[in-house]
Amino acid sequence: MPIKIPDTLPARETLRSEDVDLIDSSSASRQDIRPMKVVLLNLMPKKAQTEIQYARLLGASPLQVELTLMTTASYSPRNVAQEHLIEFYRTLDNIRDEHFDALIVTGAPIETLPFEDVKYWKELTEIIEWSKTHVFRRLGICWGAQALMKVIYGIEKFQMDAKIFGIYDHNLQQKSGARLMQGFIDRFPMPVSRFTANRADDIESAGLEVLAKSEESGVAMARCSRSGDLFILNHLEYDADTLGQEYTRDREAGEDTLMPENYYPNNDESQEPINRWRPYAFLLFNNFINELYQDTPFDLTQIKDRT
C-alpha cells in the first residue's frame, strides 16, 4: 500500500522517481480502510532531504500510511523557505485535538547543547507530553531519541571526547525486541554521527531494554516493552552520501572532523560510498509499522498514557 503525503510536496517527484508507492488525497479518501496516521516532527535543517528519507521508508510498508509533517512554532530554521513551512507543515496548535498512531521525532544538529538551552525545548517538552494521550507510539532518532528519553524517563546524555562519525557494526542483543528486530542478522551496520551518548546502565535502570549496541559507538537502539516506544540513537535513514555531506560541511566550517570511519571504500574520498545499511532501514521501519498496526486501537481517541 502507498504512503499519503501532500499532493504538491516537492519531495513527491523524488519519491516517484524511486518508485516509492504514493497516493493522492482524492484516491486515499475513496479507500475503505483506516490508514496508519504518522506525524513526523522534522527538526533537521534540511527539511526536504529528511522528508524524502522518512517517506521512502514509510512508503515501503504494505499498509497505507498517512504522513503529517510537523515543525516547532517557537523556532523557524533559517535555511528553509517560510512558504514551504506554511504550506506543508503543522504545529502543535494545528493538531492539538487530533490523534495519531505514531510520532517520529528526528535528530537535530544541537546535541552538544544542554537540553534546556535549546530554543524550542519548552515547546518540544509540551509536544512530548501531548503525545502521551494523543499518540499511541513514539519513535525517536538520534537527538530526538535522547530528548524523548530525557522527558519521559529522565535519562541524561553525556559528552564524548570526540565525535563518533562513520559506519559501525552493531550487535543485536539476544532475545531483545524479537518481533521488531525480526529478519536482522546478529551484526549489522549503522551510520553514526554524534558528539554525545547515553549509558546502557542508565537506559536499563529506567526500565528500557537495549536492542543493539556497538563496542565503538555504544547503545544504538532501545525500547520500552510496555509502550513500544523506540529510541534509535543512530541514522539508518541516511542516504549513501549523507555522512559525506556532513563531512564536507564540517570541514568548510573549519572544524577538525576526521574522515568518517568505514565509509569511503579503501578510505579513499574519491570513491563513492556504498549504502550497506539501507536493507536494515527498510526492515526496521516495516517491522515498526507492522507491529504498530497490530497493537494500535482502531479508535485513536481511546489512547491512554502508557509511559
- Average pLDDT by stretches of 10, the chain with 307 residues: 71 75 55 81 91 92 91 82 82 96 95 94 97 97 98 96 94 77 93 96 96 94 95 96 93 88 95 96 95 90 81
Task: State how far the Cα of 299 lies from the Cα of 304, in Å rounded to an integer.
Answer: 12
66, 134, 235, 246: the catalytic one is 235
Is 129 designated active site? no
Task: State how far the Cα of 219 lies from the Cα of 211, in Å rounded to an integer.
Answer: 8
Task: State how far the Cα of 141 lies from the Cα of 106, in Å rounded to an integer.
Answer: 5
Sign of the alpha-carbon dihedral angle for 214, 217, 218, 223: negative
51, 66, 237, 246: the catalytic one is 237
Task: State how far the Cα of 257 lies from the Cα of 156, in Å rounded to an integer.
Answer: 25
Dig out the grid coordinates for 115 from the structure. 537540553
The closest of 67, 51, 87, 99 to 297, measured between CA atoms, is 99
Q: What's residue 31's pLDDT?
A: 46
The closest of 106, 127, 91 to 52, measured between CA atoms, is 106
Q: What's residue 188's pLDDT?
A: 96
Dig out the grid coordinates for 304 from the structure. 491512554
Beta strands in the chain (DSSP E): 3-4, 22-23, 36-41, 65-70, 89-90, 100-105, 135-141, 158-172, 187-197, 209-214, 218-223, 230-232
Is 134 designated active site? no
Phi, psi of 303 (to 5 degrees): -60, 135
Task: State how far the Cα of 83 lies from the Cα of 141, in Å rounded to an integer.
Answer: 26
The closest of 73, 45, 69, 44 to 55, measured between CA atoms, is 69
Task: State how far the Cα of 137 lies from the Cα of 156, in Å rounded to an integer.
Answer: 21
Q: What is the DSSP string of 175-222?
A: TSSTTTTTT--SEEEEEEEEEEE--HHHHHHTT-EEEEEETTTEEEEE
The closest of 205, 204, 193 to 233, measured between CA atoms, is 193
Angle subtended at Cα 69 by Cα 66 and Cα 70, rounded to the nearest 5 degrees: 135
Q: What's residue 25's pLDDT?
A: 58
Q: What's residue 30's pLDDT?
A: 43
51, 66, 142, 170: the catalytic one is 142
Is 216 designated active site? no
Ramachandran sector of residue 166 (left: φ over 0; alpha: ψ -120 to 50; beta: rest): left
